[in-house]
Structure 1
Amino acid sequence: MIAEKALLGTFLKHNYLLKDTTLKPEQLEEIRHQKLLKIMLQLARKGKPVDVVTLSTAPELEQLGGISYINELASFADAEKIEEYEELVLEAWKEREKNNILTRAIQEGWEIGKVITSLDAINESKMDDHASITDILADMYEAPWRPEEKKRGVPTGIVQLDRTTNGFQDGEVTVIAARPSMGKTDVMIHLAKQAGWQGHLPIIFSLEMPSRSITDRLIASTGRFNRMKMRNLYKGLTDEQKKMWPTIIGRVADTNIQIFDGAGQTIMEMRAKTRKMVHSFPGKKPVIFIDYLTLIRPANSYGGSAHLQVTEISKSLKAMAKEFNCPVITLAQLNRSVEQRADKRPVMSDIRESGSVEQDADLIIFLYREKYYNKETDDDTLELIIAKNRNGPVGTVRVKYNEHTGEIIDDYGQRAV
C-alpha cells in the first residue's frame, strides 16, 4: 500500500513526527510494515535515531525487505503530507475492520446490537478529546474558595490593546483586516516581534511578501530606519546608524521569528511546518501569523466558490489554533465597499466572504488611518478597531504609526522595542 510506504518513509526521514502519531503498528496492512513501525516507535521512545543504520540492526531485516527496501521507503517521504498519509492508513484499517466484523457477524449470527457496538468502536479508534464530567467537576470543586488567576495571553506591546484583549489567547483566532497599504503587515511584524521578545516562537507564513522583505521591515521598524534606505544600506545609512546596526541586528535576532514565504500554502502544509518548528524549539509556545487569509490555498476548489473556500479555510484556522493550543493571527483584505461610504471605518460586512470569518474568529480588529484617505493631514494615528471580542469588550485603541519606518508606537508613548 503506497500510503503505508509514504508514512514509514516520512517517519524515517523526519523522526520527530513519530512522537505525534496516534497510529498503532497493527493498524497497518502489511506485516512487514507493522514490524517496521513497531521498531521505529521503540527506537523513538528510547531517544535513538530512526534511520537506515539503526534499522539495519533489526534481527529480521531481510524479512522486512533489507536495506534496499528501507531506502525505497525513504524516497516516498513528504513531511507536509503526513496527516494525509495517516488518514489514508487509518481509513483503510477501518474499512478492513468493518469487513471483518460483518463477516464474523454473518458466520456467528451476531445480534444487531453487537454489530452496531463493534462498528462504533472502530470509528472511535482515534478519539483523544474525551473528558469525564466527574474529572472536570473535581478540578472545579475548590474554585469558589480559590482566587482565580487571569489567564494572560501573548502580549501585544500595546498597553490599551492588552487591557482590552488580555493578549492573544491559546486556541483562538484573531483576524486583522484592512484595505491594502493601511499598515496590516507592519502591525503583524510589530506583534510578532513582541511575541518573540516575550519568549514565544513567532511563525510567519508570508504568502505574498518574500522573507527578505519581511526581514527588511523587521530591521527598519526596530532601528527606526526609513525603509527606502534598506535598498542600499552602504549608501543609505548614516555613520551613526551604521554604529547602531549590530545592536539592531541582534535585537531582531532575539525575536526568533521563523518565516515561510512559499506562495499558495495550504493549512495542512502550515500545520506540518509548525509541528516541525515546535519540535525544533522545545519549550517555546508557537504564535502563528498568516499574511493573508484569502491567499491560503484551500484543500478543495468547491467549483470556484470563494465563499465555500473561505469557509473551509476559516474553520481550518480554528482547528489549527486548537490543535497546537496557540494563538493564530491572520491578516485579511477588505472589499471596496468601504470606499463608497462617507465614514470609511470598516464594519464586519467589509471583510471579503465575511460570514464564516465573522463566525469563526474570536477577535476581529480593523485598521483605519485618516491619513490613508486625506494625504494633506499630518495625523499619524492608526486606529485598531476591535469589532469582535469573544471574551471581552469592543472599542478602539489608538497607536502612532510611522509609515516610513513601519514602526508602531503605543499611544502612551512607549516604543515597540
Structure 2
Amino acid sequence: MPNQPALPLAQPGQQPAPRSAPHNLEAEQALLGAILFDNETMNRITSLLKEQHFYDPVHGRIFATCADMIASGQLADGLTLKEKFARDGGIKEIGGALYLMKLLENAAPLSTHAQSYAELIYDLALRRALIRVGGEITSLAENPPDDKDARDIIEEAEKTLFTLAEAGTANRGFQDFKTALTASINVATAAKNRGSDVSGIASGFRDLDHLLGGLHGSDLMILAGRPSMGKTALALNIAMNVARQKQKAVEAGEAEHYGGTVGFFSLEMSGEQLATRILSDFAEIESHKIRQGKITTDEYTRLADSAMMLQTLPLHVDETGGISIAHLHNRARRLKRSPSGLDFIVVDYLQLVTASGKVDGRVQEVSQITQGLKALAKDLNVPVLALSQLSRQVESRDDKRPQLSDLRESGSIEQDADIVMFVYREEYYLSRAEPEQNTEDWIKWRAKLDGVANRAELIIGKNRHGPIETVHLHFKGQFTRFSSLAQG
C-alpha cells in the first residue's frame, strides 16, 4: 500500500466515533480525486468496488455519479459535478462544490496508486460486513428464534460467511449476450482443440460422453433406478473415472485432462464400504471375499498394491447420514475453496437428503432438495449427479424399463434436472423368473437370458442439451463394474 499523502480537505460528512468500524476516509478521498483528475482511472480499478463500499455515504454518491457519467461518455470533474450536487445537502455540509475541487488537489501523483486505494476500500467494506455478520450471529445465539436450534444457526452462519467470502467473484445480475456467446464459443473451442466431442469432464464411458459431450458445470443430473440395478455402482464408477483421470494427469505433470476432484456424499454406505467397492473393482477381487478375508496371499498383495496406487486419488467422501441440503451446500463450498478444489459432486441418494427447516409434506421437501442441488451446481459451476429411487409401479408393468413418471415425487425432480438417466438391467428380472426346467419355455428363457447376460441399459429419459437415447453398457456383477461395451 503506498504512503497516503495528507490531503488539505474539509472534514468528511461522517465523523468517526471513538470506536468506529474499519474505514479509511483519506483513501476514499484520494481515489475520488484520482478519478476526477483522470476519468480513465475508473477503468483501471477493480470492478468489484461499488457505491455501498464507501464508509462515507457522500463519497459513495460521488463515486456512483462519476461512474454513471463516465459510462455514458461524459466528463466527470469538479465543474461538471457541481450542477449534479448543487442541491445535495450532504455535499453542502462538507463544503459544497469547493469540496469537489479540493479532491483534485494532489490528485496527479495519486492516480498511479488508484487500484491500491480501491482494493483497500473494498477490503475495509468486507471487514465491516464481517463485523456486522458477527453481531447478527451473536444476537441469534443469545436469543434464538423458537424454530431454530444451535445447528440451524451454525448452518445459517456458514451460508452467510460463504456468501460474504464469494462477494463480487461472480456476476449474478444481467450479462450482455456477448459474454454468454463468448462462453459458448469457448466450450466449442475446447472440444475442437481436444480432438474429441467431449468439452466437459469425461465420465469414462465412451458412448455416454459422446451423447452428452461430457459432464458440464451447472448441470444437475439424476441417475435413477430400482434397487439392485446398480445405481451406486455406476455413480461410483463415474466418480472413480473422473478422479483417476486427474490423478494420472497430476502424476504425469500434465496440465490438461478430462478429470477432476470429486466430492461423494454417501448417505447410505460408509466410506469404508465405498473404498472396498473401489478396491474390488481396481484389484479385480470380489468385494465379499475382501470383507470376509477369503483372499489368497497373491490377492492380498494385489489389494495392498492397489491401495498404495489409490492413496492420492482426488476423491473425498462424506458419509453423514440424513444430511440436510444446507449442510451439504456448506460442505461442498468448503471443499471447493480448499486447495484440492471441487469439480464434480455425487449425492447417493436424493431421498436421504433432508430439507432445511420445516416444510409441508414430502413433495415440498423433495422440491426444496432438488432446487438446492440445482442451485449448488450453478453456484459452484460443477456438475452434480444425484441418485434417486423409483416408485414400485415399475414392477407392475410387463416392460420394466423405467420412465420419467416412475420417479418418486417426480414433479420437482423432472423439472429441476437437466439430465435424467435410468439404469436398467433386464438380466436381473429374467434371472428371477425362471420357468420349470427342461421345458420349451425354459429353453426360450435361457436363450433370452444368455442374450442379456452382463448387459445394462442407461436410458436417457431427459436431456436438456441433446437427444434422448439409450446407452448400452457392460456389467460385471462380481466387481460391481460398469464399462463401455467395447471394453467389456
Shorter-normalised TM range? 0.5 to 0.7
**Is contact 1:209-1:261 (8 Å) kept?**
yes
Query: Which residue is equivalent to 1:161?
Result: 208
Gaps of 5+ in 1: 1-21, 27-37, 46-63, 65-71, 90-123
Q: CA, structure 1 residues 388+224, in 2 after alignment: closer, same or farther (shift >3 Å)?
A: same
Separation of aligned partners in 1, 2:185 and 2:346: 37
Counterparts of 1:142 and 1:278 in 2: how far apart (Å)? 26
Cα distance in 2 between the residues matched to 1:140 and 1:220: 40
Shift in alpha-carbon separation, 1:315–1:244, aligned structure 2, 3 A = same
Residues 1:380 and 2:454 are matched in the alignment: yes
The partner residue of 1:351 within 407, 411, 416 is: 407
| Residues 14-413 of structure 1: pairs in structure 2 closer than 5 A | 80-85=155-160, 128-133=171-176, 136=179, 139=182, 149=192, 152-199=199-246, 200-233=260-293, 236-282=294-340, 284-303=341-360, 305-375=361-431, 377-378=449-450, 379-413=453-487
1:299 maps to amino acid = S
CA distance in 2, matches of 1:396, 1:272: 35
TM-score, structure 1 as length reference: 0.67
In structure 2, what is the Cα distance between the partners aligned to 1:374 and 1:169?
Answer: 36
Number of residues paired by the alignment?
A: 316
Which residue type is aligned with residue 466 of structure 2? G
How much does 1:300 deviate?
3.6
- RCO (CA 8 Å, sep 6+): is it higher in 1 or 2? 1
The residue number in structure 2 matching 1:101 is none
Looking at structure 1, the residues matched to 313 and 245 of structure 2 have their Cα atoms a distance apart, in angstroms, of: 8
Q: Aligned with 2:479: secondary structure?
A: coil
- Residue deviations 1:205-256 (CA, integer Å, cap 9, x gap): 11111111111111111111111112133xx222322232233113433432
The sequence identity of aligned pairs, in percent, is 29
Shift in Å at residue 139 of structure 1?
4.8
Superposition RMSD in Å = 3.9
Aligned-partner residue type, residue 252 of structure 1: L
Task: Write the distance in 2 (CA, Å) between the matches of 1:162 and 1:246.
Answer: 32
Q: 1:140 to 1:298 in 2, by over 3 A?
A: closer
Distance 1:141 1:230 in 2: 47
CA distance 1:135–1:182, change in 2 (3 Å):
closer
Question: SS of 1:163's equivalent?
Answer: helix
Equivalent position amino acid for 2:300 in 1: K
Contact 1:267 1:316 in 2 (8 A): yes
Which structure would you say has the larger Rg? 2
Letter paired with 2:316: Q
- Between 1:291-300 and 1:78-87, the stretch displaced more is 78-87
The residue type paired with residue 183 of structure 1 is G
- Contact residue 265 and residue 347 of structure 2 kept, 8 A: yes
Q: TM-score, normalised by structure 2?
A: 0.58
What is the CA-CA distance between 1:125 and the residue it aligns to?
Answer: 11
* In 1, Cα distance between equivalents of 2:190 and 2:428: 46
